[in-house]
A and B are shown apart, each in its own frame.
Chain A
Amino acid sequence: MDCPGVLAVPLGSVVVFTPTIVTKWEKDIPEKIVKSRRGKMKLVSRDIDKNSSGCVTLIPDEPEDMWHAYNLVMIGDELRSTTIRKVQNESATGSVSVNKVRTTLTIRVETIDFDTQGCVLRVKGRNIQENQYVKMGAYHTLDLELNRKFTLGKQEWDSICLERIDNACDPTQHADVAAIVMQEGLAHLCLITPNMTLVRAKLETNIPRKRKGSCAQHDKALNRFYDQIIQAVLRHVNFDVVKCVLVASPGFVKDQFVEYMFHQAVKMEYKNLIENKSKFIMVHSSSGFKHALKEILQDSAVTAKLSDTKAAGEVKALDDFYQMLQNDPNRAFYGANHVEKAAELQAVETLLITDELFRCQDIKQRKRYVSMVDTVKESGGDVKIFSSLHVSGEQLGQLSGIAAILRFPMHDEEEDDSDDD
């Protein structure tokens, strides 16, 4: 009930980072990361009381921060941000004029929309703080924008949320990788950030087979296919940010492509490509499908380079789970009911859970998962929260979204688990 009060105080006294502070802060961080030239989400203020209710002010700095914000905002929360509102004015004579006004609004969240490709977060709700333009209770949709601060107020900040804020604001976790997974006729250009795998381009063309006497059609189609990939690379890969570009394919396609690409780069003077030639790494993959990314991130040559990417860690954890399932099925559980039982007995060594489960709209469900995480942590277990945007997270999501490696074998006497698909 004290919520409006809570919000009112910090909103009045917002501390904003001045540019000078930001630069100073950037100097403090190790040189390796400065290279990436990008800040992370900035925590402006944090005001959470003993009952763990309160609010937090953040400035998203890059598209990925929107993903974090998406995972933080829940229905029933209060969100305050600047926005543009169409305001109707009626003059004394009765003529109506409409103008757009930039104003700051606070809404109680009712629906949340996230566009993974565009990284746009849209939150709809009723206005709870009347101002001169917008009446109390009027609906408004806030589009969270980059580099504009927003304040999120919650009745209860649980450990998952707080951890996410920490993660989001931790600059050392940063490494961007682009990956081209390809096979003849199919290519995926993906950007892998710590928390997201974004398919930027999916190219699929029909390449005629080589046939007796004429390879011309094949070669032509293949070159056109390669050209398309090059265009996609030029368009989507920002070499200021991307640390390396993984080119993965079965067979010789990757070699052929890289050779062709640099040949073309010289010919067409793609400076971007020529300068960043060293960033291209060839990796073997078994196919050109998106899920082959999992293999790539497991490749030892790649993991050595990307030791700090969350994606690679997730892949490893899931792989461990499968290994355990093979070697000792009684020590690898999945499904909420099974894992919960194991967690109660303090049997969970590593808990794998996707963030999808925490986004669920049912507060009770969410509480259940949060408490599961907390119990595991208390008992000294390791918790890995998978991003559902990564390939491994996607797979875990298919596998009921929750899995656990146990310390000791347990028999699952309960045969019929709720089969949710």
Chain B
Amino acid sequence: MARHRNVRTMNYEDEYYDEDDVYGHSVEDNYCISPATAAQFTFNRDHHVNLSNYMEEGIPEEEEGSEGEHDPLSDSGSGRRHLNLTEMEEGQLNSCLEEVRNVLGETVPEQVMIQTIINHKYSIEKSLNELLSLQDAPKPQRQPRQNRRNRSQEFAPNPPTVQLKTPVKKTSAPEVINFSTNSTSSPTVDSSKRQPVIGFTPVKNDITNKTKESNPRTQNSQKQEPVSAENKSDVPDASSELCSNNVEVSRKESLQETTLSTQTPKKESVGGATPKSTSKSKQDKAKLKEEFEKRQSGKDLLNLVVIGHVDAGKSTLMGHMLYQLGVVNKKAMHKYEQESRKLGKGSFAFAWVLDETEEERSRGVTMDIAQTHFQTPKKHITLLDAPGHKDFIPNMITGTAQADVAILVVNATRGEFETGFESGGQTREHAVLARSLGVAQLIVAVNKMDTVDWSDKRYDEITKKLGQFLKQVGYRDTDISFVPCSGLNGENLVKPISEPKLSSWYKGSTLAEQIDKFKPVTRQMDKPFRLSVSDVFKGMGSGFSIVGRVASGSVQAGDRLQVMPSGDVASVKNVLLEDSDGTCGFAGDHVTLTLTGMDMAHVNVGSVLCDPNEPIKCATRIRARVVIFNIEVPITKGYMVEFHYQAITEPAVIKRLKSQLNKTSGEVVKNRPKCIVKNSSAVIEIEFERPICLELYKDYKDLGRFMLRSSGHTIAAGLVEEVLKTKSKTEEDSSEKD
């Protein structure tokens, strides 16, 4: 009976698995190579399509699914076997290994240790240095994966997928998590690790002490070796840093550390067995820094928003300029011309460069922000074309919140300028909005000059009127410039003036030249990372994409970011800049991030991606200082408003009028006023229906600004002064589930 049962319950696949597997093996191999190792070194059509796996320089596929399946026991033996060591060497290796393991414990896979030791010709000191410096190199990119791997490493110290000749890439991975969790961005630390995160500062000290104590002799021998000269010089640095670095490691330091660690690949190349591309983790911050320096030395990046009253010719002007700059090719332009003429809107051909959707083209109105890039001799411009129509001001606010500088387009035609400029016109409203949203530099493009016969009188009239108004709004004289032009004719955009009527009195620069003259703006690079999401969509491949402008800090592929207010942590798969792979983004960049590891439903427009160590605040009630615009009805408590902040619009209620302030001096005029009338300044409390991620104005200038609108009118601009109420985490969670 029993035997029958055995046969019946036998899992045939398991039983016969080995026999299948040995196909193509010699008999001896069968006994000393684990299936996982076998899988790595033997040819199997199913697993390895990529032949480069067999080349020495091949980059090991990290995603290989075989990690979990290997036989833990046979690994270490087989690993060493392939090194072809003499007995003498084997002995040396063993003693070194023991020493190193005393210091490092099990945090480093044995195979890595072996490799490092051999590379350093059995010098414990140097090997330790390298191993330790490897540990400092953060490699957050693969963390979720490595966490898993770490767990498996408790049983098997050396993962079988590590290719013997290319240890660097692999090695950096697991231990990075151990040591860099505090300094870099990983809140989810594998708890199963042997060294608990909290207690590892003393461990570090141990390590360095031990290194010093146990290797007095190697320090001498080291000096004779020129190969490791640079390595040696790192010893005090690295160790002292490790000692001093408490739980909080500043960004700078980690940058330094990583620059140190980047030296390891160089050393490897001396050894002759380097992977073609160094791992991303290695490049990491160092590369980031490098990239940033490169960026700084190159052209300044500026975000430019084009604003103005509806039908001022914003899109046409910019479309024509892009065409003249060569961003749009002739063929496409010809197509636009043909098609627009077919619709009976020939004059809209240039606007079609930016208004790309059916709806926008057929109606001849820009509805949403269009975004393109172009370059001037000194600037790299991200162009945001804002809609001018009153109904789309929320979109315009979204665009302007992301901009550094602006072009205000006004229509020179008689009557048209006046409608845009009078109360309720968008020339006025946009200029005020832009100023309140932090745009300090402004070019006024006096457009459609051809319709007034290039009259300098008209131009002077407009510049005078507008200049006065803009000064009132708060632009500085030196930051405003006026350029007469014609978007449709393409006059005075990029090419020098061809119209004699204009050149007779206008000697200034063209629009493009004027853009080039914008002063560069300072970015908040040193602050923790913040990105306000302006769009979420399903991209190609795995994960999903979000779009937004980096408000502060920097991001690169592999970073882990917290998404607020949902609180989920996602990892960045890649970073797209201007639709090309940039791998990293800095404050001020418009980036598209591909995220993995979280549910798309938890990211909305208005969510903020931030550094998990320093997440953004989520407020349901704030205190703010507001400047009230020219409003028809006064604001009382209980007033319902739309709260425009970055890319979001949320309903909000003014809960309390704290005090009315003197508009210029900021002194309190009246406490608890009954109402706030137009053109005044006040401190108020605002409550939202659901938590909104925001920052205080004093911390982040860009993220502390907001606008209040009500029934289609902008009523106030404000600065966040204090977060009064935040939702607790649990409440958030429950509300998320609802």
Residues of A within 8 A of B (CB): 206, 208-212, 215, 217, 250-252, 256, 284, 286-287, 289-292, 294-295, 319, 322-323, 325-326, 329, 334, 391, 394-400, 412, 415-417, 419, 421
Which of B357, B536, B711 meets A210, CB within 8 Å?
A: B357
Which of B363, B391, B655 meets A250, CB within 8 Å?
A: B391
Quick check: B711 and A294 within 8 Å, CB to CB? Answer: yes
Bound CA span A398–B640, Å: 9
Q: Which residues of A lie under 8 Å from residue B538 when comparing CB positions?
A: 208, 217
Quick check: A286 and B712 within 8 Å, CB to CB? Answer: yes
Determine whether B535 belongs to the interface, using a CB cutoff of 8 Å to chain A: yes
- Which residue, A286, A412, A421, has most C-beta atoms of chain B within 10 A? A286
Could you give 10 example pairs across A and B, Cβ below 8 Å? A206-B605, A209-B547, A217-B537, A284-B391, A291-B651, A292-B711, A325-B675, A398-B639, A399-B638, A419-B656
Which of A206, A252, A291 meets B604, CB within 8 Å?
A: A206
Taking the closest CB of chain A, its distance from the CB of B353, in whole angstroms, is 11
Determine whether B633 belongs to the interface, using a CB cutoff of 8 Å to chain A: yes
Quick check: B536 and A208 within 8 Å, CB to CB? Answer: yes
Q: Which residues of A lie under 8 Å from residue B537 when comparing CB positions?
A: 208-209, 211, 217
Determine whether B139 belongs to the interface, using a CB cutoff of 8 Å to chain A: no
Determine whether B573 belongs to the interface, using a CB cutoff of 8 Å to chain A: no
Quick check: B363 and A334 within 8 Å, CB to CB? Answer: no
Determine whether B520 belongs to the interface, using a CB cutoff of 8 Å to chain A: no
Quick check: A286 and B711 within 8 Å, CB to CB? Answer: yes
Which of A212, A334, A412 meets B356, CB within 8 Å?
A: A212
Which of A251, A289, A325 meets B391, CB within 8 Å?
A: A251
Quick check: B359 and A212 within 8 Å, CB to CB? Answer: no
Which of B357, B632, B639 meets A215, CB within 8 Å?
A: B357
Quick check: A252 and B359 within 8 Å, CB to CB? Answer: yes
Cβ-closest chain B residue relative to A290: B651
Taking the closest CB of chain A, its distance from the CB of B683, in whole angstroms, is 14
Cβ-closest chain B residue relative to A291: B640
Which of A209, A211, A325, A416 meets B636, CB within 8 Å?
A: A325
Taking the closest CB of chain B, its distance from the CB of A386, in whole angstroms, is 12
Taking the closest CB of chain B, its distance from the CB of A18, in whole angstroms, is 48
Q: Which residues of B lie under 8 Å from residue A252 when comparing CB positions?
A: 359, 363, 367
Quick check: A412 and B633 within 8 Å, CB to CB? Answer: no
Bound CA span A212–B537, Å: 13
9 extra interface residue pairs, beta carbon distance < 8 Å, beyond A211-B535, A399-B639, A415-B672: A250-B394, A252-B363, A290-B651, A295-B711, A319-B633, A323-B632, A325-B674, A398-B638, A419-B672
- Which residue, B536, B547, B579, B637, has most C-beta atoms of chain A within 10 A? B637
Q: Which residues of A lie under 8 Å from residue B633 when comparing CB positions?
A: 319, 322-323, 325-326
Cβ-closest chain A residue relative to B358: A215
Bound CA span A279–B713, Å: 29
Bound CA span A294–B642, Å: 13
Determine whether B709 belongs to the interface, using a CB cutoff of 8 Å to chain A: yes
Cβ-closest chain A residue relative to B605: A206
Bound CA span A323–B636, Å: 12
Q: Which residues of A lie under 8 Å from residue B605 when comparing CB positions?
A: 206
Quick check: B639 and A395 within 8 Å, CB to CB? Answer: yes
Bound CA span A395–B641, Å: 11
Taking the closest CB of chain A, its distance from the CB of B639, in whole angstroms, is 7
Bound CA span A399–B359, Å: 42
Q: Which of B361-375 contact A (CB under 8 A)?
A: 363, 367-368
Q: Which residues of A lie under 8 Å from residue B262 when comparing CB positions?
A: none
Contact flag A251-B392 (CB < 8 Å), given A209-B535, A209-B547: yes
Bound CA span A256–B604, Å: 24
Taking the closest CB of chain A, its distance from the CB of B650, in whole angstroms, is 8
Quick check: B535 and A208 within 8 Å, CB to CB? Answer: yes
Cβ-closest chain B residue relative to A253: B391
Bound CA span A399–B363, Å: 42
Determine whether B212 belongs to the interface, using a CB cutoff of 8 Å to chain A: no
Determine whether B243 belongs to the interface, using a CB cutoff of 8 Å to chain A: no
Which of B359, B391, B672, B677 meets A286, CB within 8 Å?
A: B391
Cβ-closest chain A residue relative to B638: A398
Bound CA span A397–B636, Å: 12
Determine whether B272 belongs to the interface, using a CB cutoff of 8 Å to chain A: no
Q: Which residues of B lie under 8 Å from residue A322 when comparing CB positions?
A: 633-634, 636
Determine whether B389 belongs to the interface, using a CB cutoff of 8 Å to chain A: yes
Taking the closest CB of chain A, its distance from the CB of B64, in whole angstroms, is 33
Bound CA span A215–B357, Å: 8
Taking the closest CB of chain B, its distance from the CB of A419, in whole angstroms, is 7
Taking the closest CB of chain A, its distance from the CB of B337, in whole angstroms, is 20
